[in-house]
Amino acid sequence: MLSTFIKEKELDIYLYNSGKNFKSYELFGSHFVERSGVRGSEFVLWAPNAKKVEIVGDFNKWIGENHQMIFHESTGIWYLFIPNFNEYELYKYSIYTSTNQVILKSDPFAFFSEIKPNTASITYEIDGYKWNDKKWLSRNRKKNHYKEPMNIYEVNLNSWKFSDDNNYLSYIELAKDLVSYVKNNGYTHVEIMPVMEHPFDGSWGYQVTGYYSITSRYGRPKEFMYLIDEFHKNNIGVILDWVPCHFCNDEHGIRMFDGTKLYEHVDKNISDNEIWGTTNFDYAKNQVKSFLISNAMFFFDKFHIDGLRVDAVAFMLYQGYTTEKSEVNINAVEFLKLMNSEIFSKYPSALMIAEESSAWPNVTKPIHDGGLGFNFKWNMGWMNDMLKYIEMDFDMRKNNHKAITFSIMYAFTENFILPLSHDEVVHGKKSLLDKMPGDYWQKFAGLRMFYGYMYAYPGKKLLFMGGEIGQFIEWNYEREIDWFLKEHEMHSKINLFVSELNSLYKKEKSFSINDDTYKGFEWIDYSNNEQSIVSFIRKGNKDNHIIVISNFTPKVYKKFELGVPTLGMYEEIMNSDYSKYGGSNFSENQNIRTIIKSNHGRNQSIIIDVAPLSTMYLKYKGRKKTND
C-alpha cells in the first residue's frame, strides 16, 4: 500500500518538502480512507531520522510490534494503513531514534487529543459539519475592513465564566452564553486566546503541543465549529490567537520529534527560547513552512475563522529580540510574507493581525510595496504611552501631556488596532480600573473617560474581558470574571457605558470611514497641558464630523471655549459623565450653537461645560435652527 500511497500523493509530498504544500493536514496525520475495499485509518508521519516507528494505543494495548509503519526513505515519510480502525481511538507514535531511544509522541497533525493531563492523539473525522454561515461569509467578502468599525472582545475561554459545578464551559455552552453576551454588549468581533491543544492552563494557550488539535478541554472540534457558526449567525467575526513563533517543550510534543531537531534549529542558542521556556521554529526549513502555513490555512478552511492574531511577531523578526545581540531573522521575514501572501490569495477578506512591538516598518503594507503583508497591527506604542499616563497622579499629567498626543505622529503609518489586552492586566500591572488614580468615584470616571478617548482615537479597538465591567482585581486564569460585580451600581453602570459606547461607535461612521488616513482626524487643541484637556475632530464624508473633548483631570470647566470648523449646531451624543453611567451629570450640552468668535485658529467657537474626568462627543448637525 505504501507504493500506491506514494504514487497518489507524489506531488503533495514534493510540495511539502519544498515548503509549498499549504494543505499538509490532508496529507499527514490520521485519515479515514478505503483501501482495497476495506475502510480504515491511514497514518502518515514525517520523521526522516527515525530508525523505526510503531503506532500504539488502547487498540493494541500500547504494544506496537504488530503496527510498525513502513518507511519511504527518499521522502522521510512513514506510512501505515490499519483496517477497520474506528473514530475516537487513542494513539501515539512510538519512535525509535538513531541513538536507540524510544520516545512516545503525539501526532503533530492530530485533529483531536485527550483531555489534559493525558496526551494521546485521537482519531477524528474533521469533515462533515453542516455550516449555517453562508450569509455571513458572503457579506464579509464585500467588507473593506479599513473603513468599517471593528471593536474586538478578547476572551480566554478557560476563565471567562465557569459552569455551575465550577468547571469549564463547553463549546456548546459558550455558543449560548458567550455569543449572546458579546452580541448584547455591541462588539463586532471576538478574539479567542489560543485554543490549539496545550498542556498547561498557565501558559494561557501560548505553549502549544497540538497545532491542528482544537483543545478538548471544552469539547470536540465540530462543537468548536458550532461555536464559530453561532458567532457568525449573530454577525460577530471570530479571530484566533495563533503562535507560530515557538512551541512547547513537553516530551509528547514536536520538540526533538524523531530524536533530532526536526522543527527547530540545530543550534541550541537559536532554538532554545529562554524567555518562555519553549523552543523556536526554524523558518529556513521547508517542512516548517509547509507545517505552519498549512496550520493557518486549516483554521480558515475547516473552521471558517475570520482572522488570525499572530503572536510575538517581533520575536520572530529579530533573532534574540530581547538581547543586545538581536539581528534580523531573514528566514522569518520571508516566512511571514509567504504566509500572508498565501492566505490573502485564498481569503482576501481575512484579518491578519500582527502583535508586533518593535519599530519594524511597513508591517501592514502589501508585500509588493515592501511590506510584510499583514493588514492590521497592534499599536503597542499608543498602548504603552496611554497606560503609563493614566496611572499618573492628576497633578503630574500636565507635565506629561505629550503621552496623549505623540502617537498621532505615526497613527497612519500602519493600520492599527488599539489593544487593551490580557497582557496589561496581569503580573502586578493591576486591572484597568485599579490603574486609575483617585478615590472610588474618580477611578470609574477616569476609566470611562479613557474608554471614550480610546474609541474616538484613530484605530480599531480591542478590550480584554473584565474591562467592560470594571473588574478591580487582575485577571487570573484560574478563576472566572468577577460577575458578582455587576450587582454593584458603579460596575453595572460602566458596563452600560461600554455597551452603549460600542453601539455608538458602530453607528457613527465618522469614527471609522476614514480611520486609515489623516483625512479622518484633525486636532483642535493638542497643547492644553495646563488643563490636561485634548480636543480633536473625527471626520466622516462631506460635512459629517464629531468633536471629541477629553478632560484628564477631576477639575470642572464651565463656559469652556473651543474653536470649531463649521458654523451651525452641535449635539452632544455621548458624555461619559452622564449619571446613568455613574457620572455627575455636571454638563448640559445637548444642543450647542456656534458663535462668531475666533479660537484655536478657527473663526467660530462653541461654549460648553466640561465635566471632571470626562469624554464628550459633539456631532455636527448643520445650520438648522432650534425651537428654543
Tell me which residues are annotated as active site. 311, 355
DSSP, residue by residue, 539-556: E-STT-EEEEEEE-SS--
Residue 400: closest CA among 409, 388, 411, 412: 388
CA atoms within 13 A on the CB side of 13: 20
CA atoms within 13 A on the CB side of 66: 8
Residue 452, H or E segment: helix 440-456
Residue 63: closest CA among 71, 55, 52: 55
Residue 55: closest CA among 6, 113, 101, 107: 107
Long-range contacts of 427-430 (CB under 8 A, 24+ apart): 427/474, 428/474, 429/474, 430/474
Q: What is the three-class DSSP state of 582? A: coil
- How many beta carbons lie within 10 A of that of residue 285, not counting itself? 18
d(CA 539, CA 521): 6
d(CA 471, CA 98): 54
CA 534 to chain centre: 30
Q: How many helices (H) and strands (E) does the chain have?
A: 14, 32
Beta bridge partners of 575: 616
CB 169 within 8 A of CB 163: yes
Residue 618, H or E segment: strand 614-622
d(CA 90, CA 15): 30
What are the E-state strand segments in 454-610?
460-464, 521-525, 533-539, 545-551, 557-564, 569-575, 591-593, 604-610
C-alpha cell at 314: 517581533
- Per DSSP, 194 falls in state P
- Per DSSP, 600 falls in state T
Amino acid at residue number 224: F
CB 300 within 8 A of CB 223: no
CB 283 within 8 A of CB 339: no
Amino acid at residue number 559: K
221-233 vs 286-303: helix axis angle to the nearest 10?
A: 60
Beta bridge partners of 561: 607
Phi, psi angles (nearest 5°) of residue 533:
-120, 135
d(CA 454, CA 552): 13
